[in-house]
Amino acid sequence: FQQRMVTARYWLNPKGPYKTEGEFWDEEPGAETSSANEVGMGYADASEVPTATLNNGRKIPLIGLGTWKSKPGEIKQATLHALRAGYRHVDCAEYYNNEHEIGEALQTVFSEGVVKREDVFLTSKLWNNHHSKESVRPAVEKILKNLRVSHLDLLLIHWPYTGNVGPTVQPTIRETWQAMEALVSEGLVHSIGVSNFSTKKVADIISYAQVPPSVVQVEIHPYWRQDDLLSFCGERNIHVTAFSPLGSPDSSAMFQRKGPKLMDDPTLVSIASSLNKSPAQCLIRWGLQHGTSILPKSVNEGRIRSNLDVTSWELPRADYEALCSLNFQQRMVTARYWLNPKGPYKTEGEFWDEEPGAETSSANEVGMGYADASEVPTA
């Protein structure tokens, strides 16, 4: 073991004269020891985080910090930890009500001079009450003000739902999409996409879009693989981002969910043990090998760093395929709060555009908190 204990970290700057430990100590490329794991002002090197190229040529880092359900006062420090640990992708949303804290963290980081605005991929999402063409731009302007930036790298429609009651969604998704396209033209947003949309709903957008969706963000993990949607998007050069990659263990009460927990799955636990990795790391690595970008959420500095430590190794093929073959399938984040007997969505099946009989255990509870009675036997 060889490691320099007294490093040059405080004298490094991306503008020079010394950009890396190797340059400072005149070491040949590749000869740096573990003293060079962090560059300048305590920041880890982010060069090993893989990226994907979107259909508009822009790049998205494949591991991002999820910020949903973070308690007030926690996410600023978590964002600081993440950016200093090497994250360059932060997933935000208007509804999370914490973008002002993330903005404070971004301002701190940018002022330190190591990470610049163009280095960080920022996503946010339009909430359900801001779908009208008159509402989209003001909502985005508020998001930008809270984040303290001049543009978003990605803007998503958070849900295909507006709160109206009736046979169809109003304002229409088309109206919302066209308002988002205008923001791309203005430069306020670089890329646009959707979250929690079915394959059918994405296809509808593609049929009229002048700016095609760059990203579809949906729940994906070994207990909810979404292979059909992944194939659909892959064939159309639409990138897929996986939220709740650890199975959303902290949302079971919110969705009154029962059933096994992904993080406790015996196959996963066995694989993690054999590889000397955590179950979370194995799930994040599975997502990368499954072809998606990943949004693990944590406010704990150690877990934030651990969740990023997945780029230098792979799941062996047999382990990856074992996680791809788990029989239990359940959507953890359901549409239960958006269902209404008067429409536009009366059932989970209607919301997700699933064929009758195709619903999985994600639909064990349907509509206004009522359990599915289909399993009660009859004579």
Residue 312 buriedness (CB in 10 A; 0-12 / 13-18 / 19+)? exposed
18, 87, 95, 96: the active-site residue: 96
**H/E run at residue 51:** strand 51-53
Residues 293/52, Cβ–Cβ less than 8 Å? yes
Determine whether 345 is an active site residue. Answer: no
Distance CA 52, CA 60 (A): 5
Phi, psi (rounded to 5 degrees) for 76: -60, -50
What is d(CA 229, CA 227) in angstroms, rounded to the nearest whole number?
A: 6
d(CA 195, CA 260): 25
Q: d(Cα 332, Cα 338) in Å, to the nearest integer?
A: 15
Residue written as token pair 């959303």: 248
Q: Per the structure block, which two tokens stand in for 306?
A: 């651990």
**Cα–Cα nearest to 217, from 243, 238, 256:** 243
Q: How many CB atoms within 10 Å of residue 326? A: 17
Show the DSSP H helices in the chain as ranges.
21-24, 75-85, 99-112, 133-147, 173-186, 199-208, 227-235, 266-275, 279-289, 301-308, 317-323, 348-351
Other CB atoms within a 10 A radius of the CB of residue 247 amount to 25
Catalytic residue ranges:
96
